[in-house]
Amino acid sequence: MSTLTIEKLTVGYGDGAPVLDGLELEVPDGAVVALLGANGAGKTTLLRSLMGLAPVRDGRVLLDGTDLTALSTEDRVRRGLALVPEGRSVVVELTVAENLRLGTCWKKGRKNKGPAREAAVGQMYELFEPLARRRDAAGHTLSGGERQMLALARALVGEPDVLLLDEPSLGLAPLVVAQLLGVLRDQAAATGLTVLLAEQNVTGALSVADRGVVLSLGEVVADRPAAELAADPALRHAYLGF
């Protein structure tokens, strides 16, 4: 639905060396891009800086050509960006249904009241069947997998144009990971959603992505079709260490 362009982005904490150093990346309209790299490569920092949550020193972030760099996080969300951070973040005191209703409130110009809101929530129950069964359960009673589904559904229900996902498969059973990534892939294909998916689970991420991007030492060191990265042992070994 939208193209995200990252131009010469330099991000660093305090007086330290930059974590991202002049990073260039385009996530085209409707593409699913897997963001790969070793622990500490800067995947989380990149996703957070796209939302205005990490200290950008230089460079620009553009959404369909519009410069977002100076905008607040709230304004970026209103323009169609959404982040699902690592750690299955849901409001644990609220029920599944209440969490989903919260997620409908964001995007600029959306009719997010009454029937439209309930229809959007209902769609999430179709996508994530375990959530339908647990719609009145409080967040703190959900399993890890159900929580991650809820975190993803809460982002999707706001109908973002660009979805940033930070390690959604971390700590989940393989079957749940396959289910989650499958929904993500299908939803992206059905709606044209643009996705940037940071993952340590390289195989899982490349199985749903169009492209794989590898970060190292603050830069993009590989940007290849996902199938090519997945299939070529030499490439995997050079860039991903296995």
Tokens of 65: 């050509």
One character per residue 45-84, x = contact with ligand ATP (rule: CB under 6 A): x---------------------------------------
Nearer residue to ligand ATP within complex by CB, 45 or 187: 45
> Exactly one of 8, 24, 28, 40 binds ligand ATP (CB under 6 A); which one?
40
Nearer residue to ligand ATP within complex by CB, 22 or 130: 22
Which of 53, 107, 56, 101 has its CA nearest to residue 77?
Answer: 107
One character per residue 189-218, x = contact with ligand ATP (rule: CB under 6 A): -----------x------------------
> Exactly one of 4, 6, 9, 19 binds ligand ATP (CB under 6 A); which one?
19
Q: Which stretch binds ligand ATP (CB under 6 A): 39-47, 90-98, 125-133, 206-214?
A: 39-47
**Can you say whether residue 177 is alpha, beta or left, with left for phi > 0 and alpha for psi between -120 and 50 degrees?**
alpha
Q: CA-to-CA distance for 207 and 202, rounded, in angstroms?
A: 8
Separation of CA 20 from chain center: 18
Distance of closest approach, residue 181 Cβ to ligand ATP, in angstroms: 17
Separation of CA 44 from chain center: 10
Tokens of 13: 């904490």
Half-sphere exposure in the Cβ direction for 122 (13 Å, CA): 6
The gap between the terminal CA atoms of the chain, to the nearest Å, is: 34
Distance of closest approach, residue 189 Cβ to ligand ATP, in angstroms: 27
- Give the residues lining the site for ligand ATP (CB under 6 A): 13, 19, 37, 39-45, 200
